[in-house]
Chain A
């Protein structure tokens, strides 16, 4: 995709997406709203120390070349521009952070070399988490299991500035309208065919005070969510709206960080948890033939030495797939690489 000519007047290069053409062919082409994006922009280029003054702070940003429009639906606006009720006085915005506190959050998924292993069946899970497997019940998640979870938190993660107290939560998140009641999860439905959301009976609390004890309970619903309709233009993509609960962990900076419950160091917003179910054809046991998707989209018959963090004997098939998670109010977003793993022998 070429860059647009930015040597003269500002021009607009407009194209229909693949999905737009499909909808036009079906007679369902109706545009009702717009959104704005800035995917090409690297805000770290904003130089508040520019020696020539404030007029030059964004010089490099304004010189950013812009790509021509893509026709693929998911390749244009990944991170949209935001409005927060016309409030121009915000200084902090929440982030979306994966919780990795395996000691305090039961069953939470922990990354190994930036991926989380998702076992396609119990045999694979048992092999990987047994004594010689070297993974455990946090670094390896069994698909469809409601006692294990991927957990993410929103909050102002700024090294406790502002602090993570109840008042700060009100001041910086609740009263500014930055609490995300629900989240959008996008994944590749060719591999991940079910998403188990959290129940509203879940709790994520740690009241202020050294004598308090964490009150954390993550319960997932065994009934998977139904994906949203639409977005048929992107092969395999499935979109889910996930519920969340309040993150009521307060001022946890007491004692060792090893006992911290929250991944956020600052005012905390919401917690969202879920687990995946994988496509039925990926669940084939090690005695069955290797499912073709592993050869098409991943790698097959890998020894443990080829896989980070695994020492178990035997060989394995893997597919790496990226999961996208967005806070629907604050726009906070993150990505997670899920490594779907199957014991092949």
Chain B
């Protein structure tokens, strides 16, 4: 253990910084539906949602990328006792709404509804929606605002979902500074589709940046064969939402995802320690090889400059406990003719 320590001047030698690190996350639709013949899709016995992995999920190499589920409000026209898993679909809608938007304060209908704008005025409610919950593994701390794009195939025929120009849902009006609102579930923006021009009326969903949840109105699939039932023929989106289990509706959505991408955000808080080594400091070593007999190896005569080589910086508590270590990639010569400032950054 070292016997000499250099104290930090906390006002001059230590500083804190915050850095936002972004990564591009592109997810191709063939991963979501096709490549692994659904071996990467996990359904659960409770039937509440479906998980999508980037590789067959029985493999230890598989990473969870997102979950899909559907829901509708109890005031939706699709809500009815005859609908398959009706209660669960209502419960899911309410669960997402109460966590992400909160409550209205009204006893009549206490939970806010998703809206295709930022007003929260009860207008333009999206009462039947698909939910995509992205894994924290890929969103990290949050989705970068203005970076989300989901490309959907909306050709009418089930067999050729991507034949027509695709519908791109993007948070086009959101930037890091504007175009979003903060609610119970964090910041959220509106997803617009460019097919009808981007304006206040063209919102088709929400993207919750910190929660990593995309909410997409089912109406984007109006006029589209969402499923092909051998018994009942083609099903439109309303029929899928009422006549299929949640897993079936999730299958239908996956079938229409061409690709999606966003930038994630990792917030790195750093503390930087400036280790200042003066010209007359740390020019000797207690390394056992430093001496031959009692003589310093790097000197011929006493007037020669002492030399030491730094490979390691130890950061210590006041009781000399080693709390962090930094290693130089190559030895650094220290002698009385030079002064060094070694910048050690610890990320949290």
Contact = CB atoms under 8 A, between A and B. Distances in A.
Q: From DSSP, what is the main secondary structure of chain B's interface residues? A: strand
B313 A331 contact: no
Given A43-B298, A90-B284, A66 B322 contact: no
A6 B328 CA distance: 9
Contact of A36 (B277, B298, B343): B277
B87 interface: no
B77 interface: no
Interface in B307-333: 307-333
Contacts of B293: 157-159, 161
Contacts of A327: 3
A82 B287 CA distance: 10
Nearest to B284: A82
Interface stretch (A91-99, A117-125, A210-218, A246-254): A91-99
Contacts of B5: 33-35
Contact of B331 (A17, A28, A61, A184): A61
A155 B294 CA distance: 8
Nearest to B5: A33
B305 interface: yes
Contacts of A17: 322-325
A156 B316 contact: no
Classify chain A's interface size. Answer: 35 or more
A19 B288 contact: no
A236 interface: no
Most B CB within 10 A of own CB, among A31, A57, A332: A31
Contacts of B331: 38, 40-41, 61-62, 64, 66
A37 B296 CA distance: 17
A82 B321 contact: no
Given A37-B311, A328-B3, A20 B284 contact: no
A29 B312 CA distance: 20
Contacts of A43: 285, 287, 289-290, 297-298
B36 interface: no
A84 interface: yes
B326 to A, nearest CB: 4
B57 interface: no
Interface in B278-309: 280-303, 305-309
A98 B103 CA distance: 77
B68 to A, nearest CB: 36
A34 B315 contact: yes
B309 A82 contact: no
A313 interface: no
B105 interface: no
Nearest to B346: A14
Contact of B316 (A35, A38, A92, A330): A35
B4 A19 contact: no
Nearest to A183: B3
Contacts of B1: 74, 77-78, 80, 184, 186, 324, 326
B282 A91 contact: no
B336 A41 contact: no
A44 B3 contact: no
7 contacts: A31-B14, A83-B281, A88-B306, A89-B302, A90-B284, A326-B1, A331-B284
Given A14-B327, A82-B3, 4 more contacts: A16-B346, A36-B312, A68-B327, A91-B301
